[in-house]
Amino acid sequence: MLTFGRWLSILSLLAGIWVVTVLVCLLYGMEPITLSEAAQIFWAKFYSGDQASIDSSRSVILLDVRLPRVLLAGVVGGALASVGVTLQALLRNPLADPFVIGISSGTALGVVLSILTGLNLSVWGFSALPVFGFSGALLTLMFLYRLARIHGRISVQTLLLGGVILNAMLSAVIMFITYMVDANRVLGIFYWLMGNLGSLELKALGVVIIYVMIGMVALFRIARGLNLLALGEEAAVTLGLDAERTKRAAFFASALLTGAVVSVSGLISFVGIMIPHVLRTLIGPDHRLLLPASILGGGIFLMSADTLARTLIAPTEIPVGIITALCGGPFFLILLRRGRMKFSGS
Amino acid sequence: MGTRSIRGTISFLLIVITSLVFLPLSVFAESITITDDLGRSVSLEKPAERIVSLAPGLTEILFSLGLGSRIVGVTDYCNYPPEALTKTKIGGLNPNIEKILILHPDLVVGVAGRFQQENLARFERFRIPYIVVDPVSLEKIFQTVLILGKITGRSEMAAENVRHLRNRLEQIRQSSRSESPPRLLYVVDDDPLISVGKGSYLDDLIRDAGGINITGGIAKPYPLVSMEYVIRENPQVIILATDADRKLTDIQKRRWDRWSSLAAVHDKRIYKVDRDLLNRPGPRILEGLEELAGLLHPVSTSDSDR
């Protein structure tokens, strides 16, 4: 039973860990920065304005390189994990995640196409990539939805299998495009597809956060509906839920979140599948708690993974998608083997 | 009776002996043997007449030797000289063997690397003479020119060209020698940031042009580089590799503005270069090198002009 006290204490604990992770990731790097130095830099930047006393390159590294990157990892990880939670409840299947059912690939295809066709416009100084990504994600989801809709009802199994197949097809299209383009650009697209969080400005991060916020608010509003849907659609309808509306909202929010984050980070696997499972095991399946907890947990995981990605073999970086798969995979397999992975609490 | 027949026999023997001595020699004189960069020895009966090139750089070398009319097939990427665009295309990285067979080449030239083993097996099976070169440094590019010159019967022209290239290289090296070589960041791709490390020959070129490649210590030819490292190394010059049209998107143009603490950004020393000039192991590489040296040492070159 979820009480407000339990809700608050678990989320405060996770929020605390989230903040500590941000701090550690900000200080840790090939150029270590001490806590007091960081405090000085922040103080000089945001309060006193006195830049003279601090080392300017360290200030740039902390504020312009690491800060947007760590925050972006927090946002992307949270978004991917929350989409994972939603899709798992919706499809009543533990394997669902934006990556597995092809939404990520749909987004990536949209982005790759927009980069190659030169439609990589900037609107009011912001990159329009999230819009292209969102379109790719939404088209993919709408196609899946239509595919799985038989006699007015969604066949969950068809949707999941269709998604896996669609993912394979979309990946093939991306591979084909990569193969066909000018050899000079292959490497860039290849690295981008493996996940990269390093090149966003604080300003552009703000835009991503706006998209993500809208998606998350939409998800919070249907958290209770997700609880009911996880029991099964018939049960949910019996209990008075407008199942179709909840599903539509969930799909739309999932597409928005995936489109916004994949378009700026590339393909990062395992966050959306692993974090919800771990947290479900730890704190139970109630989505009113699981959803915000996954947002925080996904952020913590991806911030840590990205810090490893940029420090392990510095000054070279490892694409972060490799780290998440290498860290997440074995962990996931152990959970699976121990049989501790519960899908629904019912 | 005796003398006549003896004389006849002797002259017959002489003819036989002469032909035995000189006939094989004349065959040897026409056949050409070279050793390619895989250590294989390849022989042709006569200079190659129908050549297929599997790399843009090799196409440029062949054209520079005046062999344009003997080229029968090129890759999709061969865009220089413009005449190369009129040649039959045989595909991209992985060439189409059927198209090559139809062209009846008497020589195929390719570079080491991807698809090298597949190509070897294929061309050996169809008994098409195949040369693999590995022009990974300026010196190796010169060697490649000489090899291609020899197999096409243009040895003298090749030697002359190489002499010119060497002189030009020496001039560039002389004029770009500097007490404090500028630190340079070479940007292959900017999102994510990819640069050139040890083992790429851009790294050598930067040294020849009198600069210090800040990512030269990374033991990977095309590494993903952390921005933190760039900030710390603080390059004085940033070179962006672009297509031949040298155009940047708005986003690319603005991308570096935010790093105003970098000396290169502050001094507005961010330049574009045509990546085909520098990435392509052909004779135009000296043009690229000259340009690079000019960008690194703007003052010293204008001094030498005076």
- Indicate the pTM of the whole model: 0.81
* Domain architecture of chain A: domains with CATH: 96-343 (1.10.3470.10)
Average pLDDT of the segment spanning B107-130: 85
CB-nearest to A191 from B192, B218, B258 is B192
Specify the pLDDT at position A229. Answer: 84
- Six-digit token string for A260: 């916004």
User: Residue B306: what pLDDT?
Assistant: 34
Backbone angle region of B75, left / alpha / beta, with phi > 0 → left and psi within -120 to 50 → alpha? beta
Asked if the Cβ–Cβ distance from A30 to B232 is below 8 Å, we say yes
Q: Which residues of B touch A60 (CB under 8 A)?
A: 231, 259, 261
Could you tell me the pLDDT band of residue A145, with boundaries at 50, 70 and 90? confident
Q: How confident is the model at residue B303 (pLDDT cuts 50, 70, 90)?
A: very low
Number of Cβ pairs < 8 A linking chain A and chain B: 97
**How many Cβ atoms from other residues are within 10 Å of residue B212's Cβ?**
17
Which DSSP category does B70 fall into? G
Per-residue model confidence as pLDDT tens digits over B32-57? 888 888 888 888 888 889 999 999 99
Locate tokens 């999932």: which residue?
Answer: A254
Q: State yes or no: pLDDT of B251 exceeds 70.
A: no
**To the nearest whole number, what is the mean pLDDT of chain A?**
84
Q: Which residue of A has its CA nearest to B248?
A: A118
Contact flag B226-A316 (C-beta cutoff 8 Å):
yes
Would you say residue A16 has pLDDT above 90?
yes
Banded model confidence at residue A1, pLDDT cuts 50, 70, 90: low
pLDDT for A247 equals 84
Mean pLDDT taken over chain B: 84
Closest B-chain CA to A185:
B189
* C-alpha span between B32 and B48 (Å, rounded): 9
Share of chain B above pLDDT 70, in %: 88
pLDDT in tens, A87-99: 988 888 777 888 8
Q: Which of B277, B297, B210 is nearest to B56 (CA)?
A: B277
For residue B144, the model assigns a pLDDT of 93
| Residue A121 pLDDT | 56
pLDDT of residue A120: 53
Apex CA B16: angle with CA B10 and CA B19, to 5°?
135
Mutate to test the interface with B, among A31, A65, A115 (most CBs of B within 10 A): A65
Name chain A contacts of B279, Cβ cutoff 8 Å.
184
CB contact under 8 A, A61 and B215: no
**Average pLDDT of the residues in B196-224:** 88
Question: pLDDT tens across A120-131, in order?
Answer: 555 554 566 777
pLDDT at B23 over 70: no
* Average pLDDT of the residues in B72-85: 90
Residue B14: pLDDT band by 50, 70, 90 thresholds?
low
Residue labelled with tokens 């940031």: B193
Chain B (4-63) residues lying within 8 Å, Cβ to Cβ, of chain A: none
Size of chain A, expressed as the number of residues it contains: 346
- Higher pLDDT pick, B304 / A103: A103
The two structure tokens encoding residue A52: 């003279």
Q: What is the pairing mode between strands B193-194 and B212-213? A: unpaired
Nearest to A59 by CA among B232, B284, B37, B108: B232
Question: How many Å apart are CA A244 and CA A202, to the nearest integer?
Answer: 38
> How close A333 gets to chain B, by Cα (Å)?
30
Take residue A102 and report the two structure tokens written for it. 């092809």
pLDDT of residue B2: 57
Residue B189 contacts A where some CB pair is shorter than 8 Å: yes
- Evaluate if residue A175 carries a pLDDT over 80: yes
Residues B248, B254, B258: CA angle, nearest 5 degrees: 150
Give the neighbor-by-neighbor strand order of the sheet with B107-111. Answer: B88-89, B71-74, B51-53, B107-111, B130-133
Report, as an integer, the average pLDDT of B207-225.
Answer: 89
**Contact (CB<8Å) A61/B231:** yes
| Count of other CB atoms within 10 angstroms of residue B180 | 7
What pLDDT does A51 receive? 65
Closest partner residue to A199 among B193, B222, B275, by Cβ? B193
Between chains, do A315 and B226 touch, taking CB under 8 Å as contact? yes
What is the model's pLDDT at position B305?
Answer: 41
Who has greater pLDDT, A175 or B183?
A: B183
Q: Which of A48, A25, A27, A47 is nearest to A36 (CA)?
A: A27
pLDDT exceeds 50 at position B300: no
Of A282-291, A328-337, B262-271, least confident by mean pLDDT is: A328-337
Cross-chain Cβ contact A199/B279 below 8 Å: no
pLDDT given at position A119:
57
User: What confidence score (pLDDT) does residue A19 get?
Assistant: 96
| pLDDT of A48 higher than 60 | yes
Would you state the pLDDT for residue A24? 94
